[in-house]
Amino acid sequence: MHIAMALLLPPSTTTTNLATVSCNPLLSSSSQLTTYRWSQTRRVTPKNLCNTSTNDDQPTPQKIHIETKKLDRRNMLLGLGGLYGAATTLSGRYVTLAAPTAPDVSQCGPSILDNGKTLYCCPPKPSSQAMDFKLPKISPYDLRIRPAAHLVDDKYLEKYSKALALMKALPNSDPRSFKQQANVHCAYCNGGYHQVGLPDLDFQVHGSWLFFPFHRAYLYFYEKILGKLIDDPNFGIPYWNWDHPDGMVMPSMFNDPKSPFFDPIRDQTHLPPKVMDLTYDGPLVQPYNNNNMSNNDQIALNLTIMYRQMVSNAKKPTMFLGEPYRAGDQPNPGSGSMETQPHGTVHTWTGNPPPNTPSWEDMGVFYSAGRDPIFYAHHAQVDRTWSIWKSLSPKNKDFKDKDFLNTYFYFYDENAKLVKIYVRDCLDTKKMGYIYQPMDLPWLKSRPIPRLHLKSLKSSFSKVKNAVAAEITVPTITFPKALDHIIRTNLQKPQKSRSKPEKYEEEEILVIEVESRHDLYSKFDVYVNDEDEIPTRENRARTEYAGSYVNVPHKHHNKQGDNGNNLMMKTTMKLGLTDLIEDLGADDDEGIDVIFVPRTGTENLVIKDVRIEFLC
């Protein structure tokens, strides 16, 4: 696209004279420059930086004050070397800039596919400059309602079918066409754009705090285009209600070969009435994989997974929304709980795995996922979980960081006009003009329990503790370690017997740094204090299961001119321990045993580091 560079500049902002980091989950100030680096292996974390004082005038040792000068952020970045700054370390790596990242849509390039071929999925060139997005003025009575896909009636299906058929009938040169709408995901998620002013760094919306707002904006314009095509401004797209037992099959509306919702490139073994697996490992035969669960057991597992990802693993914003992603950052700093699973697992569960397709097309790989109409129902459900999460606890709030709020994306609207939309415009569905059809949340009552009831567990443990300790010793492993087999390690806990106020204020978390291939579907499980030699899939319904690492295949360029051949990606995952340790009755234990179980695509995966921290 040829867009005036002035349009691509970030807004001019100023920083305060004194920034106080006090129980800040991001542990950074918007006025700092911090280098991108990996932490060294360590077993016990340093003292946390949470503020235990309620008087800001009386700092405690846990409080950090950062003196900054008032300056224009844009001027600072320009002074560092070009638009958004081309500042690098002496080793040639970019530093993390104190500014929102953004896509350079004037330089959209081809995406690299798994077979080495290139795919040009850039949108058509605009006929005019981009407009700033403005929130619609809508009364509460005019909100669009997005229905649950398994509950829609024939009248709705007729309307949606007509709208999608009209979208598919638009010429490919029209940015509103279905092909171009699918290309949006390809361009933003598979190396089509680089960061403004940083041509060696991809702009990637997955694996960070941009995941939720980008996809919300994406679906907003997709929905508005459909409504415009049928002259119905109140039209709302459906959501795939896979967090409810009634929605845990592929919705029937997407399985009619004669309808525009149909995509033949799906896993044919997962068509209705197959109950979906929100922890899907993939069809590849691995030594530690099995799947002998009944439908009822699978549904029960799905519900506990929803509880784990929406509650236990989502106590803090970074745990649910993802890691900060600023100008100069490498892609994929860290996904939030819901993006990892079920978002990632549903993608691959729906897509057609190799060798049936080259790279798990359509849904199971980012470049082609938008070609399947079910993608938009899947992401409507993901978007819905963001709103649900914020309703579950007063602590569940969006980031207030300016670098988050001032990140922006470009989309074509229902009138084929290019629009620039900021993250700050995407935080409230009601302000954007839509809500979701209410449904029960049965997973709220599905908190996992230990494999042995807690009381009997404590009783048995007290009798055999010494005998077991004499026979079983889990060593402390030195990382990095390749995950080509089950790894067991013991981690010393930084603190024992925490009080309820301490647990409420600070979440004890397991931090795992991972290096893996970004072009492969890879997955491993993490268990705590599980005594099985090989923890099974059924164990995922129990407290001992802490969570999983999941990577949906995609491509990006790590270095200028590498053509996507540098396939390794570094990222971080965070798993909640507070509920887990409490439910296992392990509050007074000196440490915990952590078990990594490879499931799929871990041949080249490395656990760089694992440690316990406290997150405010």
User: H/E/C letters for each residue in 280-314?
Assistant: CCCCCCCCCCCCCCCHHHHHHHHHHHHHHHHHHCC
In a domain, 52, yes or no: no
Least confident of 49-58, 59-68, 461-470, 554-563: 59-68
| pLDDT for the residue 68 | 28
Could you tell me which residues come within 8 angstroms of residue 592 by beta carbon, excluding any fewer than 6 positions away? Answer: 490, 491, 493, 528, 529, 577, 581, 586, 612
| pLDDT for the residue 519 | 86
pLDDT band at 293 (very low <50, low <70, confident <90, very high): confident
Pairing, β 522-528 against β 545-551: antiparallel
Instruction: Please identify, among 445, 471, 506, the residue that sits at the C-terminal boundary of a domain.
Output: 445
- Catalytic residue list contains 215: yes
Residue 554 and residue 537: Cα distance in Å, rounded? 26
In a domain, 35, yes or no: no
Q: Which of 49-63, 70-84, 512-526 has the highest mean pLDDT?
A: 512-526
Q: Does 492 lie in the same domain as 385?
A: no
Residue 63 and residue 67: Cα distance in Å, rounded? 13
Residue 290 has pLDDT above 90, yes or no: no
In a domain, 103, yes or no: no
Phi, psi of 487 (to 5 degrees): -115, 130
Question: Which token pair is 84?
Answer: 């958004």
In a domain, 244, yes or no: yes
Residue 555 and residue 561: Cα distance in Å, rounded? 14
Range of the domain at 521: 481-615
Q: Does 313 lie in the same domain as 211?
A: yes
Closest CA to 608 of 574, 572, 555: 572
| pLDDT for the residue 88 | 42
Q: Does 281 lie in the same domain as 159?
A: yes
In a domain, 131, yes or no: yes
Active-site annotation holder among 150, 347, 378, 518: 347
| pLDDT for the residue 555 | 79
pLDDT band at 128 (very low <50, low <70, confident <90, very high): confident
Task: Determine contact, residues 379/346, Cβ cutoff 8 Å.
Answer: no
Dmax (CA) for the chain in angstroms is: 77
| pLDDT for the residue 409 | 97
pLDDT tens digit sequence for 359-373: 899 999 999 999 999
Domain CATH number, residue 195: 1.10.1280.10
194 forms beta bridges with 202
pLDDT band at 274 (very low <50, low <70, confident <90, very high): very high
Active-site annotation holder among 185, 554, 556, 557: 185
Residue 314 has pLDDT above 60, yes or no: yes
Q: Please give the residue that has the higher pLDDT: either 80 or 545.
A: 545
pLDDT band at 140 (very low <50, low <70, confident <90, very high): confident
Q: Does 485 lie in the same domain as 441?
A: no
| pLDDT for the residue 143 | 97
Structure letter (DSSP) for residue 113:
P
Residue 272 has pLDDT above 90, yes or no: yes
Q: Sign (positive/negative) of CA torsion 436, 438, 443, 445?
A: positive
Residue 545 and residue 317: Cα distance in Å, rounded? 21
Question: Which token pair is 329?
Answer: 């950052």
Q: Alpha carbon of 244 to those of 248, 263, 309: distances in Å?
A: 6, 24, 15
Residue 370 and residue 376: Cα distance in Å, rounded? 7
| pLDDT for the residue 599 | 94
Could you tell me which residues come within 8 angstroms of residue 486 by beta carbon, excluding any fewer than 6 positions away? Answer: 288, 534, 595, 596, 597, 598
Task: Taking residues 188-197, report their average pLDDT.
Answer: 93
Q: Please give the residue that has the higher pLDDT: either 560 or 506.
A: 506
Residue 397 and residue 36: Cα distance in Å, rounded? 26
Q: Please give the residue that has the higher pLDDT: either 207 or 4.
A: 207
| pLDDT for the residue 114 | 67
Q: Does 235 lie in the same domain as 119?
A: yes
* Residue reference for tokens 């099995």: 290
What is the chain's mean pLDDT, rounded?
Answer: 83
In a domain, 139, yes or no: yes
Q: Sign (positive/negative) of CA torsion 296, 299, 303, 305?
A: positive
- Catalytic residue list contains 366: yes
* Strand ranges across the sheet with 481-482: 481-482, 606-615, 507-517, 568-576
Residue 611 and residue 413: Cα distance in Å, rounded? 45
pLDDT band at 390 (very low <50, low <70, confident <90, very high): very high
Task: Taking residues 262-269, report their average pLDDT.
Answer: 96
Residue 616 and residue 606: Cα distance in Å, rounded? 28
Report the percentage of the chain scoring pLDDT > 90.
68
Residue 240 and residue 437: Cα distance in Å, rounded? 11
Residue 203 has pLDDT above 80, yes or no: yes
Residue positions counted in the chain: 616
* Strand ranges across the sheet with 408-412: 131-132, 418-422, 408-412
Q: Does 342 lie in the same domain as 282?
A: yes
Task: Taking residues 386-397, report their average pLDDT.
Answer: 97
Task: Taking residues 111-115, report their average pLDDT.
Answer: 73
Task: Taking residues 242-267, report their average pLDDT.
Answer: 97
- Catalytic residue list contains 347: yes
Active-site annotation holder among 244, 343, 518, 557: 343
Instruction: Please identify, among 418, 445, 472, the residue that sits at the C-terminal boundary of a domain.
Output: 445
Q: Please give the residue that has the higher pLDDT: either 479 or 68.
A: 479
Task: Determine contact, residues 585/458, Cβ cutoff 8 Å.
Answer: yes
End-to-end C-alpha distance for the chain, whole angstroms: 42
Q: Does 300 lie in the same domain as 196?
A: yes
Active-site annotation holder among 206, 270, 554, 557: 206
Residue 524 and residue 521: Cα distance in Å, rounded? 11
pLDDT band at 212 (very low <50, low <70, confident <90, very high): very high
Q: Does 398 lie in the same domain as 528?
A: no
- Catalytic residue list contains 557: no
Q: Does 486 lie in the same domain as 438?
A: no
Instruction: Please identify, among 420, 445, 470, the residue that sits at the C-terminal boundary of a domain.
Output: 445
Report the percentage of the chain scoring pLDDT > 70.
77
Residue 79 has pLDDT above 90, yes or no: no
Q: What is the DSSP string of 352-403?
A: --TTTSSSSTTTTSHHHHTTSTHHHHHHHHHHHHHHHHHHH-TT------HH
Question: Considering its fold, how many domains does the chain have in total?
Answer: 2
Beta strand extents in 467-567 (DSSP E only):
481-482, 487-492, 507-517, 522-528, 545-551
Task: Taking residues 301-308, report their average pLDDT.
Answer: 98
- Residue spans of alpha helices (H) in 68-177: 73-79, 154-169
Residue 143 and residue 233: Cα distance in Å, rounded? 10
Residue list for the binding site: 185, 206, 215, 343, 347, 379
In a domain, 157, yes or no: yes
Could you tell me which residues come within 8 angstroms of residue 4 by beta carbon, excluding any fewer than 6 positions away? Answer: 129
Closest CA to 457 of 547, 526, 543: 543
What letter represents residue 535's amino acid? P
pTM equals 0.85
Q: Does 246 lie in the same domain as 124?
A: yes
Pairing, β 95-96 against β 507-517: unpaired
What letter represents residue 425's amino acid? D
Q: Does 517 lie in the same domain as 434?
A: no
In a domain, 54, yes or no: no
Active-site annotation holder among 366, 404, 409, 596: 366
267 preceded by a cis bond (ω within 30 of 0)? no
Residue 361 and residue 353: Cα distance in Å, rounded? 7
| pLDDT for the residue 117 | 78
Q: Which of 45-59, 305-319, 353-367 has the highest mean pLDDT?
A: 305-319
CB atoms under 10 Å from CB of 89, counted, come to 11
| pLDDT for the residue 544 | 97
Residue 458 has pLDDT above 80, yes or no: no
* Residue reference for tokens 């506990």: 304
Residue 19 and residue 12: Cα distance in Å, rounded? 18
Q: Does 565 lie in the same domain as 427?
A: no
Task: Taking residues 538-562, report their average pLDDT.
Answer: 82
Domain CATH number, residue 604: 2.60.120
Task: Determine contact, residues 18/67, Cβ cutoff 8 Å.
Answer: yes
Task: Taking residues 525-540, report their average pLDDT.
Answer: 92
Residue list for the binding site for Cu cation: 185, 206, 215, 343, 347, 379
Structure letter (DSSP) for residue 414:
T
Least confident of 90-99, 230-239, 339-348, 396-405: 90-99
pLDDT band at 141 (very low <50, low <70, confident <90, very high): confident
Question: Which token pair is 204?
Answer: 């990637």
- Catalytic residue list contains 343: yes
Phi, psi of 476 (to 5 degrees): -90, 115
